[in-house]
């Protein structure tokens, strides 16, 4: 029995390690955004001589079919923040003060006193469907998020529907 325990326990531990996947933070430290990385992208790394990244990429990726079904895209979003908190969130300030928000005509920025930065994703009627804290996001993450989760707007159509 003791021999069994000496062999079986380390073997179970080893299997658990092999089966474990990287957390979103682990992937970010490796340069990958787990929620947006498709496994098909990892497979093409060898085409560019980047085989050394492939193993970690495959640990961080999502199967293409899983991502397409679980990722909701919304027609409108509101980024809410207090200017008094810009000192605590310089990355959010950098995003707001840059030209990046202009790339998203269906994004509204609201300044609300005392509020930590958050994003509200809405349906076409303006009903809030998801609310996300973005306090730990950097400027690039905010932009990538809106590029993937905010519906693309035909500029001419947007101008017609928002006439005063």
CATH, residue 115: 3.40.30.50
Residue 86 covered by a domain: yes
The stretch 57-63 carries a mean pLDDT of 87
For 35-53, write each residue's pLDDT tens digit: 778 888 888 788 778 889 8
CA-based nearest residue to 108, from 69, 153, 49, 56: 153
Residue 23's pLDDT is 86
Residue 162 covered by a domain: no
Total domain count for the chain?
2
Which residues, including other chains, have CB under 8 Å from residue 27's CB and lie 6 or more apart?
33, 34, 37, 56, 59, 60
Same domain for 8 and 61, yes or no, is yes
pLDDT at 5 over 80: no
Contact 133, 104 (CB under 8 A): no
CA-based nearest residue to 136, from 85, 97, 80, 89: 89
Q: Which of 50, 69, 88 is the last residue of a domain?
A: 69
Q: How confident is the model at residue 8 (pLDDT cuts 50, 70, 90)?
A: low
Residues facing residue 131 across a β-bridge:
120
Among 67-71, 117-121, 134-138, the range scoring the smallest mean pLDDT is 67-71
Sheet of 128-133, strands arranged across:
107-111, 76-81, 118-122, 128-133
Measured CA to CA, the distance from residue 124 to residue 10 in angstroms comes to 54
pLDDT at 73 over 70: yes
For 119-131, write each residue's pLDDT tens digit: 999 999 999 998 9
Residue 96 covered by a domain: yes
């Amino acid at each position: 029995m003791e021999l069994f325990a000496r062999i079986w326990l380390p073997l179970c531990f080893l299997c658990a390690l092999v089966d474990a996947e990287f957390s979103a933070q682990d992937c970010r430290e490796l340069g990958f955004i787990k929620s947006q990385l498709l496994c098909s992208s990892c497979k093409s790394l060898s085409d560019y001589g980047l085989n050394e990244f492939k193993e970690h990429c495959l640990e961080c990726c999502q199967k293409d079919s899983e991502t397409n079904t679980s990722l909701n895209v919304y027609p409108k979003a509101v980024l809410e923040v207090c200017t008094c908190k810009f000192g605590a969130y310089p990355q959010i300030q950098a995003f707001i003060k840059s030209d990046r928000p202009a790339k998203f005509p269906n994004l509204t920025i609201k300044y609300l006193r005392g509020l930590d930065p958050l994003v509200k994703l809405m349906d076409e009627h303006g009903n809030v469907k998801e609310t996300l804290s973005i306090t730990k996001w950097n400027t690039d993450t905010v932009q990538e998020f809106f590029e993937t989760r905010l519906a693309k707007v035909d500029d001419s159509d947007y101008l017609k529907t928002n006439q005063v």
